[in-house]
Chain A
Amino acid sequence: MTPPRRKRREPKPPPPPQPQPQPPAPEPADGEAEPKNPERLYTVAGSEDGARAELDLVTLIVARDAPQMAASPEQAAVLRLCANPLSVAELSAYLNLPFSAMTVLITELITAELVQVRAPIVRRALPDRSLLEAVMHGLQRL
């Protein structure tokens, strides 16, 4: 029996940046403009809320202080959970919030200086050998 066959793929260059939304064209003076597409306007407006911290699933979050009286219940819940370091993924799981909603909440806490962020190590073109060796030694002890 022969297994099915696959064809290898080559690395792709990174995708080109998304084209910037164009400002709406000025309406012709005679008022004969075509009706605007509301969907498109919504998309443009939706791209304005990008003020979120760059958070990875495995960015570790640590509370700076005990929950403040001023904190919202959602914020207080996050602060309680990350008295010890906890990843964004774990916070999302325990609070039953989608990842993107979690990043909004954490961004508020970062802005309010209520939490500290410990950024993850990401893979680079030239990986850090000592990091890989540390992971191997750790796994060997399992």
Chain B
Amino acid sequence: MDFNGSDTIPGPRTEDHLPHTAETAVKIVIVGGFGVGKTTMVGSVSDIRPLTTEETMTQAGIGVDDNYGSESKTATTVAMDFGRISITEKLVLYLFGTPGQERFWFLWNGLFEGALGAVVLVDTRRLEVSFDVMGRLEERGVPFVVAINSFPDAPRYPVEELRTALDLTPEIPIMDCDVRRRASSKDVLMTLMRFLHSIALSRALV
């Protein structure tokens, strides 16, 4: 961009400024297939209008062994929409979601490793698109909950049938939601936080 036009650089609206007391931030990642409602969920609970950050990944950074030393390197831009919730005067929560291809997210160093946990948003019309992302979270030891975004024409399965199909352990919460509604998105985040809290309690008892 042209930095010389500095008067026109967009910035946060005055009401979107964090207080000077803001000391630290935590993040939650919302994952799921294309069009499942990740950005909608970010927007429904965020204090600020959702923003977009992006990163360019090259094939070399992807670590695909087959392509090592090949002449052409393809660059992929990974864009993430995110929002923000002020928790206290000192603590800020960021929510990240993306309309892009999920497999590229895992190249973004620290995105998942540093996150408190993740929400896997699922559309029961295309259950299988969430399989890979759940596997990758499991491999990295990132705790997650499963939220079924209720589309009107989507098949309804009993929770236990979904748990079996998704091969989820009994303690992982599975819930219905409507991410267009702030209260529903908030419930999903609260469910994740209670789950994380129960993990923290059980580990403290070991």
Do they bind each other?
yes
Residues of A in contact with B (beta carbons under 8 Å apart): 1-12, 37, 39-40, 43, 56-60, 62, 72-74, 76-77, 80-81, 84-87, 89-90, 92-100, 118-123, 125-129, 131-140, 142
12 more contacts with CB within 8 A, not counting A58-B26, A89-B96, A123-B113, are A6-B135, A7-B135, A57-B96, A58-B25, A60-B18, A77-B6, A84-B20, A93-B53, A120-B24, A126-B200, A126-B203, A127-B196
User: Is residue B35 contacting chain A, with contact meaning CB distance below 8 A?
Assistant: no
Q: Is the CB of B197 within 8 A of A3?
A: no
Which residue of the partner chain, among A37, A100, A126, A137, contacts B55 with CB atoms under 8 Å?
A100
Which A residues are CB-close (under 8 A) to B23? 60, 118
B196–chain A nearest beta-carbon distance, Å: 5
Q: Is the CB of A136 within 8 A of B193?
A: yes
Contact indicator A127/B193 (Cβ below 8 Å) = no
| Binary contact track B94-123/A, C-beta < 8 Å → 1, others 0 | 101000000000001011011111000000
Docked complex Cα distance between A140 and B139 (Å)? 31
Partner of A93, one of B51, B115, B165, B204: B51
A138-B91 contact in complex given A100-B55, A126-B204, C-beta closer than 8 Å: yes
Closest to B117 in A: A123
The residue in chain B whose Cβ has the minimal distance to the Cβ of A100 is: B55
Interface residues on B, range: 35 or more
- In the complex, the chain B residue whose C-beta lies closest to that of A74 is B3
In the complex, the answer to whether A5 meets B167 with C-beta atoms within 8 Å is yes
B4 within 8 A of A: yes
Q: Is the CB of B24 within 8 A of A9?
A: no
Closest Cβ–Cβ distance, residue A10 to chain B (whole Å): 7
Which residues of the other chain, B, contact A140 by a CB distance below 8 angstroms? 190
Whether the pair A9, B51 counts as a contact (CB closer than 8 A) is: no
- Interface 1/0s, chain B 179-206, versus A by CB < 8 A? 0001000100110011011011101100
CB distance from B25 to the nearest CB of A (A): 4
Contact of B25 among A6, A73, A120 (CB under 8 A): A120
Question: Which of A94, A98, A123, A133 has a CB less than 8 Å from the CB of B54?
Answer: A98
B51, A84: Cβ atoms closer than 8 Å = no
**Interface residue? B175 (CB, 8 A):** no
Query: Cβ of A40: which chain B residues have Cβ within 8 Å of it?
Result: 69
In the assembled complex, the Cα of A127 lies from the Cα of B19 at a distance in Å of 26
A134 and B110 contact, CB distance less than 8 A: no
Question: Beyond A10-B138, A136-B190, A136-B194, is A97–B6 a contact (Cβ under 8 Å)?
Answer: no
Chain B residues contacting A4 (CB-CB under 8 Å) are 127-128, 131, 165
Q: Are B127 and A131 in contact (CB under 8 A)?
A: no
List the B residue with the shortest CB-CB distance to A75: B3
- A4 vs B134: C-alpha distance when bound (angstroms): 14
Inter-subunit contact A118/B69 (CB<8 Å)? no
Beta-carbon contact of A60 and B24 below 8 Å: yes
Measured CA separation A47–B142 after assembly (Å): 29
Q: Are B11 and A132 in contact (CB under 8 A)?
A: no
Residues of A contacting B92 with CB < 8 Å? Answer: 58, 60, 87
